[in-house]
Copies of this chain bind each other. A is one copy, B any other.
Amino acid sequence: MVAADNLQKTPQEATFNLLAYLKERQKICEAALDKAIPIIYPEKIYESMRYSLLAGGKRLRPILCLATCEMMGGTIEMAMPAACAVEMIHTMSLIHDDLPAMDNDDYRRGKLTNHKIYGDAVAILAGDGLLAYAFEMVATQTPDSVPKDRVLQVVARLGRALGAAGLVGGQVVDLDSEGKLDISLETLTFIHNHKTAALLEACVVCGGIIAGASPEDVQRLTRYSQNIGLAFQIVDDILDITATTEQLGKSAGKDLTAKKVTYPSLWGIEESRTKAQQLIEAACAELKPFGKPAQPLEAIAHFITSRNN
């Protein structure tokens, strides 16, 4: 939920109803994801993939992908396969991260985690299956109106965002850092740039590429997404301390229990909030040249610091 005062921060934002926008976009993303993976034999693996993929969530990543494509003059249809793909990749990273061998989490989005329902083996395979389908979907479902070289750029960026240079690399360093109290700001930033910002960047930049963004535009979109990515993580760390388990839909206070170094543990909560706000402002500055069509991306940036789950 977004507090009303955050939606009316600037005159420009006041004219844009973010809540209604997000709700409508969530709905079309849910419908596309639901359609993407029908249940066939062997049912269990499809059910397991769908269990996590359709477990709700803000759908921020696909919405960012669609919004950027539209801002750059493309259509929702052009970006929908890529939007579904980023959500599948995100979901696979959650399923694998929650495994007993990793973060060992029992709850996610207020529901039992995938392996608690289907067992570790199927959960691992469900992640692999989602990942495979993400690439297949981009390659086969992106409409012909998108030139093939752009689609290949999307495949390349999704692969990079997901692999050792992205999510996977971030999670390895994160696991290594657990229980260590002497983690540097540099390491912490590496973790979050890879675990969170890399995929957010891919969402935004792929949306732009699909619509034919110029190299200069891609640079702007990259800076926008890196800034919101880091802000997103700082807010996540703050929420882990200040929010309840009920609000988060996952265990609160996890970082403290796991003795994780976080931004608030390095900077304090107030300083972390200020920093997040500055990052959001820097992100929005990158959008200025795009004018009014940038409204959704601006509002989403502000939403990131104002959210409470």
Partner of A120, one of B49, B101, B156, B163: B101
Instruction: Please tell me the size bucket of the interface on A.
Output: 35 or more
Interface residues of A in 154-212 (CB under 8 A from B): 155-156, 158-160, 162-164, 166-169, 171-173, 175-176
B172 adjacent to A44 (CB under 8 Å)? yes
A152 adjacent to B148 (CB under 8 Å)? yes
Give the Cβ gap from A249 to chain B, nearest Cβ, in Å. Answer: 24
A102 adjacent to B121 (CB under 8 Å)? yes
Identical chains bound together, number: 2
Question: Does A149 belong to the interface (CB within 8 Å)?
Answer: yes
A134 to B45, CA, bound (A): 22
B152 adjacent to A136 (CB under 8 Å)? no
A176 adjacent to B44 (CB under 8 Å)? yes
Question: Does A127 belong to the interface (CB within 8 Å)?
Answer: yes
Give the Cβ gap from A94 to chain B, nearest Cβ, in Å. Answer: 12
Chain B hits for A101, CB < 8 A: 99, 101, 119-121, 124
Give the Cβ gap from A268 to chain B, nearest Cβ, in Å. Answer: 28
**Interface 1/0 per residue, A131-161 and B, CB below 8 Å:** 1111111111000000111011101101110
- Chain B CB count within 10 A is highest, among A121, A122, A140, A175, for A121
Q: Given known contacts A121-B175, A124-B99, A156-B140, is B168 in contact with A132 (CB within 8 Å)?
A: yes
Partner of A149, one of B133, B137, B148: B148
Question: Does A96 belong to the interface (CB within 8 Å)?
Answer: yes
Chain B hits for A127, CB < 8 A: 128
B129 adjacent to A155 (CB under 8 Å)? no
Q: Given known contacts A124-B96, A132-B163, is B169 in contact with A42 (CB within 8 Å)?
A: yes
Chain B hits for A147, CB < 8 A: 148
A163 adjacent to B148 (CB under 8 Å)? no
Chain B hits for A151, CB < 8 A: 148, 152
28 contacts between A and B (CB under 8 A): A42-B169, A42-B173, A44-B172, A45-B168, A45-B169, A46-B164, A96-B128, A101-B119, A124-B124, A125-B171, A127-B128, A128-B128, A128-B131, A128-B163, A128-B168, A131-B163, A132-B159, A132-B160, A132-B168, A133-B163, A135-B155, A135-B159, A136-B155, A136-B159, A137-B159, A139-B152, A139-B153, A148-B149
